[in-house]
Structure 1
Amino acid sequence: MKYDIIVIGSGPGGYIAAVRASQLGKKVAIIEKYSTLGGTCLNVGCIPSKALLDSSHHYYDAVYHFEEHGISVSKPSFDFSKMIERKANVVETTTGGIKYLMDKNKIDVFEGLGSFEDATHVKITKNDGSSEVIEGTNIIIATGSKPASLPFIKLDKERIITSTEALKLSEVPKNLIVIGGGVIGLELGSVYARLGADVKVIEYAPKITPTMDGEISKELQKVLKKQGMDFFVSHGVKSVERNGNEITVKATNKKGEEVTFTGDYCLVSVGRKPYTEGLGLEKVGVKVNEKGQIEINNHLQTNISNIYAIGDVVKGAMLAHKAEEEGVVVAEFIAGEKPHIDYNLIPGIVYTWPEVGAVGKTEEELIASKIDYKAGKFSMRALGRSRASGDVDGFVKVLADKKTDEILGVHMVGARVADLIMEAAVAMEFRASAEDLARICHGHPTYSEAVKEAAKAAWDGKPLNS
């Protein structure tokens, strides 16, 4: 069978690339080695983690916040198995939706491991050992990533676990040690902290969310600490050992002193690494760098011109929405269009509560680049909407060019900022100034007013409500 485009991998990047290519009139096949479509994001990543975050958030609100709203209930309890069951149902519905999209767009789906025979032929090895070969004029690699670890850690996937196992535990840990204070560690740490686990987060860098703006990291750590999570930054983990149901983690702090942590579970969340095993890249000579990433040009082409790569297997942030955009770009490029993607405007989001949203440059990046900038900041506590809902933690910060007033970066901590950050991304796509954003009439009372106020603070230093 011959296709215009073969996509290997059905995660957000792969299935979106397939859909867009089909919309543009291409004959498309997609290959997925697992029995369900959707990749890491839909099966063991973004979607199930948000389901558990929402369930645990409802419980936490019932325990700690209902009373202040005048709602009296008997002491709330939770059925963890039902939470896990609900999460599984959300995943099943969502992955089923991807199957519907494949059918609707007349995309042929092949289940099995895809590997290159040559630059235009892909062998599909099925679970029963049988195989078939299909031909594609163009091939898109979208095989994603898998959890990374440290070389001395033995992941038993029972007590020493990755995010995959953390999403399907049979019990809430009593004492959860989280190695890594990035997005995954904080989100899953939040889930279990809300449900009563004692959570300790160990981070090698001097701050959590190391790639984010420093003020954001500081505010988020303060709020999560208030919620009961403990943080140990500038700590380098040296060993992780299991003895029965007890896990012992030894780390060295910045003074060089050894610190010991004990718990019944240890979540290793030190990032993810590109997943290219079994693809047979060496057969066709596709270049891979020292980080295991497939090398690409500005059109996401590999060194073999008809083979493309997108998402977590290439350079850049490992984000589902980044993969989706790259999938669209490749499909349109192959179809002869002239798409573009601005990597500076891909938002970063943390789905704790309060949430974190960021787009553009951090203050640290602007300082390192010696760019003259001005900053405007507005506290969520000063908003009527925040006081009404009781979500008063956090702030919005707008960074703008000192001379031109163009917005260079926006960073937020607060209620619903995972959605709110897109206001900033849209403004920056059109190269808006802080004054532009400040002069747009925002609904009242809304959380979005914090963006207007922070923009005004950056523009003329005079927010109206603080």
Structure 2
Amino acid sequence: MPKKQKHYDVIVIGAGPAGYISAIRSAQLGLKTACIDNWRNKQGRLNLGGSYLNAGCVASMALLESAKLYHAFIHNGAEHGIVADTVDLDVGQMIRRKDAIIDDINSKIVNLFKHHKIDTIHARAKLQAAKQVAVFPVDQAEPYLLKAEFIILAAGSSPIELPCAAIDNDSIIDTGAALNLEEVPRRLAIIGAGIKGLEIAGIWNRLGSETVLLEAQETFLSLPDQQISREAYRLFTEQGLELRLGARVISAKKSNKKVVIEYQDHEGTHVLRVDKLIVATGRKPNSENLAAPEANLLLDESGYVHVDENCRTNLPGVYAIGDLTLLGPMLAHKGIEEGVFVAEQIAGIHSPINYDLLPSVVYTDPEIAWVGQTEQTLRALGEPIKVGVFPFHASSRALAMGKSEGLVKIIAHRDSDKILGVHIIGERASELIAEAVLAMEFSASSEDLARTIHAHPTLSESLYEAALALKKKTLHLPR
């Protein structure tokens, strides 16, 4: 395999949020940088941003906004004095709007790369020994080798496939294809009621699809605080989502233009017939074929790249970040922070990441967001705690917006008053959680939050009121 003469300080493999940010930060620090990625969009065009942009979070949020507008107009327009004889639904236009947003963000990343003089290489890459990367261009040109002092692996992750529900890209599809349907399925099933399954379910349910989620676990949303999960279950059920817990799918096959699903729960075996089936059972790291055998890159039994607390692999000068590792959950902002962290390490700057204060978000409607510990975990550890809760139905701003579902929950240490966890379900929870993260990063007490003046009326006041609730001093609730 021929070697190109170009030599880099840093080569980044992957242009998702972890990869493109690590490339940008490396270039900002004066390091000669290349970024290799082979993502193609559904039109076959080469796109940066990885699955996060093209088939994940951004795409999902864009579609959800369209679905929310349609649903609100149909179901809540009259109370606002907005009445129309007919409302037409153009799913194709919703998809085109989503694609336009993706293209716009992709263009912005491309321009950032040009501004920072980052070489973009559209190819498949494989780590070789001696800090070399084999490059296999997408245009079928001859492969070649590149060398760099430092290599950052940021290849991301992909949906897990199920043998019992093989993807056929027609009736049985993955989460990426679920964001490109051109018409609303009359009846839709989703395997997996985790974060991605719920986000996709919320879109198609609002557009009129009868939606059933089949979740193998007996518990619903185990990561947030249980009070938040219970509230989410209640609200999503009221919205029309059919949540079947403890439902293990045995088989799924296409028959007479329908998908016939066989699953088991504690009551026995059941058959479900739907128009579309979406498999949303989690993601796996894209580590297969990422490194040549002679490179001796160390992986665990699940395919995650083994790294230390500084994202270093077992190979000198080679780092792994984002979804490839088990350092923190598979979150875009986790990957972004690691991208910055590693680039700065290479440049001799050490600014460690506080993995304990990574916020998590579920982009449903209402949104769910949390940071820190749950009440059940802290009680199991025997920690002395106190809890403050404020419901959005007592918020003037939430009522004015017609978004009064959900609550804010703050957990603090009973003696020191230090905030240990904040959990939110409600409108703009993804934005509100930032205040909690900032407070906890500076080891704030609940009193610090309660003494911080919040504008009135705002949704952020609910954090203030939840902090007051810890001392039984809420202003807009009976004590």
Common fold by TM > 0.5: yes
2:108 aligned partner: 97
Q: Which of 51, 58, 67 is the equivalent residue of 2:69?
A: 58
**Paired letter, 2:49:** G
- Alpha carbons 2:291, 2:297 under 8 Å: kept: no
Q: What is the CA-CA distance between 1:281 and the residue it aligns to?
A: 4.5
- Bigger Cα displacement from structure 2, 236-245 vs 23-32: 236-245
Q: Which of 245, 259, 264 is the equivalent residue of 2:257?
A: 245
Q: What is the CA-CA distance between 1:256 and the residue it aligns to?
A: 4.7
- 1:112 is paired with a residue whose SS is strand
CA distance in 1: counterparts of 2:200 and 2:429, whole angstroms: 19
- Alpha carbons 1:395, 1:413 under 8 Å: kept: yes
1:398 aligned partner: 410
1:429 aligned partner: 441
- 1:376 is paired with a residue whose SS is strand
2:246 aligned partner: 234
- Alpha carbons 1:119, 1:307 under 8 Å: kept: no
CA distance in 2: counterparts of 1:227 and 1:287, whole angstroms: 46
CA distance in 2: counterparts of 1:224 and 1:117, whole angstroms: 48
Q: Which of 26, 29, 34 is the equivalent residue of 2:31?
A: 26
Is 1:461 the counterpart of 2:466? The answer is no
**Displaced runs of 4 or more, over 3 A:** none
- Alpha carbons 2:394, 2:476 under 8 Å: kept: yes
5 Å matches for 1:187-206?
Answer: 187-206=199-218
5 Å matches for 1:326-405?
Answer: 326-405=338-417
Q: What is the CA-CA distance between 1:372 and the residue it aligns to?
A: 1.9
The answer for unaligned runs of 5 or more in structure 1 is: none
CA distance in 2: counterparts of 1:282 and 1:409, whole angstroms: 43
TM-score by length of 1: 0.97
Q: What is the CA-CA distance between 1:106 and the residue it aligns to?
A: 0.6
CA distance in 1: counterparts of 2:260 and 2:378, whole angstroms: 40
Q: What is the CA-CA distance between 1:250 and the residue it aligns to?
A: 1.9
CA distance in 1: counterparts of 2:155 and 2:380, whole angstroms: 34
- 2:176 is paired with a residue whose SS is helix
1:106 aligned partner: 117
- Bigger Cα displacement from structure 2, 311-320 vs 234-243: 234-243
- Bigger Cα displacement from structure 2, 355-364 vs 438-447: 355-364
CA distance in 1: counterparts of 2:219 and 2:89, whole angstroms: 33
Is 1:217 the counterpart of 2:229? The answer is yes
1:2-56 Cα offsets, whole Å, 9 max, x none, are: 1111000000000000111111111111001122111111111111111100011
- Alpha carbons 1:207, 1:217 under 8 Å: kept: no
1:334-372 Cα offsets, whole Å, 9 max, x none, are: 111111111111111111111111111112221233222
CA distance in 1: counterparts of 2:164 and 2:234, whole angstroms: 31
2:419 aligned partner: 407
1:442 aligned partner: 454
Q: Which of 258, 262, 268 is the equivalent residue of 2:273?
A: 262
2:50 aligned partner: 39
**Paired letter, 1:86:** R
Q: Which of 168, 187, 192 is the equivalent residue of 1:180?
A: 192
CA distance in 1: counterparts of 2:446 and 2:248, whole angstroms: 40
CA distance in 1: counterparts of 2:254 and 2:11, whole angstroms: 44
Q: Which of 155, 161, 183 is the equivalent residue of 2:173?
A: 161
1:377-401 Cα offsets, whole Å, 9 max, x none, are: 0000001111111111000000111
CA distance in 1: counterparts of 2:246 and 2:367, whole angstroms: 24
- Alpha carbons 2:113, 2:120 under 8 Å: kept: yes
CA distance in 2: counterparts of 1:187 and 1:461, whole angstroms: 35
- Bigger Cα displacement from structure 2, 66-75 vs 165-174: 66-75
Is 1:13 the counterpart of 2:24? The answer is no
1:274 aligned partner: 285
Percent identity over the alignment? 38
**Paired letter, 1:175:** R
2:85 aligned partner: 74
1:81-107 Cα offsets, whole Å, 9 max, x none, are: 111111111111111111011000110
2:153 aligned partner: 141
Is 1:420 the counterpart of 2:425? The answer is no
TM-score by length of 2: 0.95
**Paired letter, 2:409:** K
CA distance in 2: counterparts of 1:372 and 1:37, whole angstroms: 47
Q: What is the CA-CA distance between 1:117 and the residue it aligns to?
A: 2.4
Is 1:313 the counterpart of 2:330? The answer is no
1:175-206 Cα offsets, whole Å, 9 max, x none, are: 11011111111111111001110001111222
CA distance in 2: counterparts of 1:206 and 1:217, whole angstroms: 13
The answer for unaligned runs of 5 or more in structure 2 is: 1-5, 40-45
1:4 aligned partner: 9
CA distance in 1: counterparts of 2:23 and 2:430, whole angstroms: 27
